[in-house]
Structure 1
Amino acid sequence: MRRYLLASLAIGGGASLLALSLHWTGVFSGGAVWLGEFYHSRGLSSGVEWVKVFWLEILVTLLASLGTAWAVIEVTRLPRKIGAGVGALLVVLLLSPTLSLHGILLNPAAPFLATIAAFAGALVYSRSSLGRRKWLLEEALGDRVSSKVFKRMLEAPSEPDFGGNVCEVTILVCCHFPGESSGPVASPGDVMKMGSLFQRAVSTFLLSRGAYLDESGPERVRATFGLTGESTDHAVDASRAALDLKLRLSGLAEEFESRWFHVPRFGVGIETAQVTAGLCGIPGRFFLATLGGGESFAGRLALANARFGSQVLAGPNVYQRVRGTFELRPMEMVYDSERQVLHETYELLAPTGSDDEVQKTRREEFWKGVILLRQKSYEGALEAFSKARIPGVDDAPLAYFTALAQDQVALPESRPRRLVRELTEDGHARSMNRF
């Protein structure tokens, strides 16, 4: 904005100086005499001697040139640029006969010339690399970033590189799961209202945190941190946004329950990865997109919240970058058979230093219980989980792992469990829960 304002002042000021210099040297004096006689002959005068206001001609010339330059540079579409220029010319031409009805003779030659010169100069500037940056950002980003981020990129000293580059970003995915209803079944209209409210609330919040909005729908919102910003702590920014989003989603759940008697469930997943970023699409309809990276894994983490009962899950790359800033606890190990890599997933809890000693001890017992559970020491895991429980506080992930340990401690194997093991673990079928 500041760059465009300075360019408008320079172009408009130069056009005004050119037109006023010609006006003061008498180049347009003959036209003023002819114009006065023309208005008299057409009855467009008050019948008295013409009044010439010296400062009015200067003011009109300056306003016409500066306004035209600003409008042409600020507007990104070519038809709108032409419309702004034509509109300015019409205003200048119609102003002279309007003032003549009040006995004021205004020669429109200088304002007309200044408007044309400002339009031409602004049009040339808008086609340059600096002048077309706003058009490029509007096409590539649009409403996918906040106005603050858009202005910062517009005023950046260097032009954004959208040709394709590899960068490290943190991806946040928020999912809306079907919840329980304590009242009558929601109508299709109410279902769409709930989806729209979720989409609007989550998207607006993530945009306010400086994220790039990749995907926005009634059941899933995906945003990227570090793609358009200068901050290198995108993992920390995404983690902080995820924790604050958890509070926002709690308030949204209360609104759902009060308006539609519907208890929704939400899940957030975040992961850091290397992506290839650049413009994607067809000519005239392109946007900034990312390829590869942790988008799929972040989405899986968001969906996994429905199984654990958690709200925010983080991948191993996020853990490596934020473990000194936030408190996390382990959930499950995930094996990537294609890359032959074993990943640890974590639940993001709170910023470091927000827990007291008792909570830290209980969190350590939870870590111990998860490790013992993986070592198949189920009784030891149950003992650790019992020590990790906070009286009077619902802890869904703790209840989930406690139930896993209790199922393994149970002596007889039930027939449904035996069938699941024989068909999935020992057989060739895949469990529907993992499909």
Structure 2
Amino acid sequence: MDPQLANQLLEEGDGQAMLGGQAAEATVLFTDIRSFTTISESLGPQATVSMLNEYFEIMVACITDAGGMLDKFIGDALMAGFGVPLATDDAPDAAVKSAISMISQLRVWNASRLTNEKPAVNMGVGINTDTVVTGNIGSSKRMDFTMIGDGVNLAARLEGSCKTYGAQIIISEYTKSKLKGIYALRELDRIVVKGKTEPVSIFEVLDFHDDSTFPARMDVVGHFSEGLNHYRSSDFDTAIKSFSAALEANAKDVPSQLYIERCNLLKDTPPPAGWSGEWVMTEK
């Protein structure tokens, strides 16, 4: 745990109880580097370690600057918490702002890497807000303050789903519902993650984009939203027209491409009665 955070816990007077374990609402953030194996093979061991250290230096600063707690590194991934171990009233906003800063800072870092003929690094971020269990967990030889629970697992699943939707930041409906600020969001889907039965709505955060990284954003999001409504009403032909219009505005929009494929699939194999657009994810 960050020494300043540990000291703050002890000053609050109930630090020992918190470290012993408690349930608390938290906003959990997961990140992961895309195609890390390919990058590491091209760089070699020493350059890979150097790259990771530079990358994590940037990411951790984005977390702590937003008031978050770095939980752990997991290979090339990391996990962070907001609103733990000390509760705050803006944890969801802080997590989203941290993720936006991560992608923005990554873009600057990548520009420098490309100038030095080094491969660019891409990443995904998943964010979820839920009640989690926090505390010192481990063995008598080593213990770490960490978070566990379904809310943590969903954040990890959302990070993984970034690859499916071509997104860089995905948040759950639970995080969205608690945001106080105004953000550029696009509803992507209503998914049932692997190992669960209830669907959750997911949203793409778009605030870090500009005209060069997401041309015709307003037009694309407008057409996509129309298509999503038709899709959920099982009007697949009209939905395809809307998604196609989104692609005419921006041919690289991955979600629109994905939904056209789904619509064609569902036209051949119609969904069951009472279906409302949820999609069952088969991968973590």
Common fold, TM-score beyond 0.5?
yes
Matches of residues 120-131 of structure 1 in structure 2 within 5 Å? none
| Contact residue 253 and residue 264 of structure 1 kept, 8 A | yes
Is 2:254 the partner of 1:405? Answer: no
| Contact residue 172 and residue 270 of structure 1 kept, 8 A | yes
Q: Which has the higher contact order (CA 8 A, sep 6+)?
A: 2
| Contact residue 278 and residue 288 of structure 1 kept, 8 A | yes
CA distance in 2, matches of 1:336, 1:285: 32
| Contact residue 170 and residue 226 of structure 1 kept, 8 A | yes
Partner of 2:101: 244
Partner of 2:149: 292
Residue by residue over 1:373-427, the C-alpha shift from the partner in whole angstroms, topping out at 9 and shown as x without a partner, is: 3444343223323544685x67x5x3332354157559xx9xxxxxxxxxxxxxx
CA distance in 2, matches of 1:188, 1:282: 30
Partner of 1:264: 121
- Comparing both structures, which one devotes a greater share of its residues to helix? 1
Equivalent residue for 1:277, pick from 130, 134, 143: 134
Residues 205/407 of structure 1: CA separation in 2 closer, same or farther (3 Å cut): closer
Is 2:65 the partner of 1:208? Answer: yes
Residue by residue over 1:351-391, the C-alpha shift from the partner in whole angstroms, topping out at 9 and shown as x without a partner, is: 9xxxxxx9656534322212323444343223323544685
CA distance in 1, matches of 2:247, 2:184: 17
CA distance in 1, matches of 2:32, 2:221: 26
How far does residue 190 in structure 1 lie from its aligned partner after superposition? 2.2
Equivalent residue letter for 1:434: E
Partner of 1:219: 76
Give 1 or 2 for the bigger CA radius of gyration: 1
Equivalent residue for 1:379, pick from 231, 234, 237: 237
How far does residue 171 in structure 1 lie from its aligned partner after superposition? 0.3
| Contact residue 373 and residue 405 of structure 1 kept, 8 A | no
| Contact residue 58 and residue 102 of structure 2 kept, 8 A | no
Equivalent residue for 1:189, pick from 28, 46, 52: 46
How far does residue 284 in structure 1 lie from its aligned partner after superposition? 6.2
How far does residue 235 in structure 1 lie from its aligned partner after superposition? 1.0
- Comparing both structures, which one devotes a greater share of its residues to strand? 2
Residues 390/196 of structure 1: CA separation in 2 closer, same or farther (3 Å cut): farther
Residues 218/248 of structure 1: CA separation in 2 closer, same or farther (3 Å cut): farther
Equivalent residue letter for 1:377: D
Is 2:153 the partner of 1:308? Answer: no
Partner of 2:273: none
Secondary structure at the residue paired with 1:340?
Answer: coil
Secondary structure at the residue paired with 2:120?
Answer: strand
Secondary structure at the residue paired with 2:204?
Answer: strand
CA distance in 2, matches of 1:249, 1:390: 29
| Contact residue 378 and residue 406 of structure 1 kept, 8 A | no
| Contact residue 28 and residue 155 of structure 2 kept, 8 A | yes
Q: Runs of 4 or more off by more than 6 Å in structure 1?
A: 179-182
Residues 407/279 of structure 1: CA separation in 2 closer, same or farther (3 Å cut): closer
| Contact residue 190 and residue 260 of structure 1 kept, 8 A | no
Equivalent residue letter for 1:373: Y
CA distance in 2, matches of 1:215, 1:335: 26
Secondary structure at the residue paired with 1:264?
Answer: coil
CA distance in 2, matches of 1:407, 1:344: 17
Partner of 1:434: 283
Residues 198/277 of structure 1: CA separation in 2 closer, same or farther (3 Å cut): same
Equivalent residue letter for 1:267: G
Equivalent residue letter for 1:308: Y
Matches of residues 1-400 of structure 1 in structure 2 within 5 Å? 141=1, 145=2, 147=4, 149-156=5-12, 158-160=13-15, 161-162=17-18, 163-178=20-35, 185-283=42-140, 285-322=142-179, 325-335=182-192, 339-350=196-207, 362-388=220-246, 391=249, 396=252, 398-400=253-255
CA distance in 2, matches of 1:336, 1:262: 32
How far does residue 286 in structure 1 lie from its aligned partner after superposition? 2.8
CA distance in 2, matches of 1:339, 1:306: 20
- The count of aligned residue pairs is 261
Residues 386/309 of structure 1: CA separation in 2 closer, same or farther (3 Å cut): same
* % same residue: 18
Secondary structure at the residue paired with 1:345?
Answer: strand
Residue by residue over 1:245-277, the C-alpha shift from the partner in whole angstroms, topping out at 9 and shown as x without a partner, is: 110122233233333531322000000111122
How far does residue 292 in structure 1 lie from its aligned partner after superposition? 1.0
TM-score after normalising by structure 1: 0.52
For structure 1, list consecutive stretches of 5 or more residues without a partner in the other structure.
1-140, 352-357, 414-430
How far does residue 218 in structure 1 lie from its aligned partner after superposition? 4.5
Secondary structure at the residue paired with 2:121?
Answer: strand
How far does residue 311 in structure 1 lie from its aligned partner after superposition? 0.5
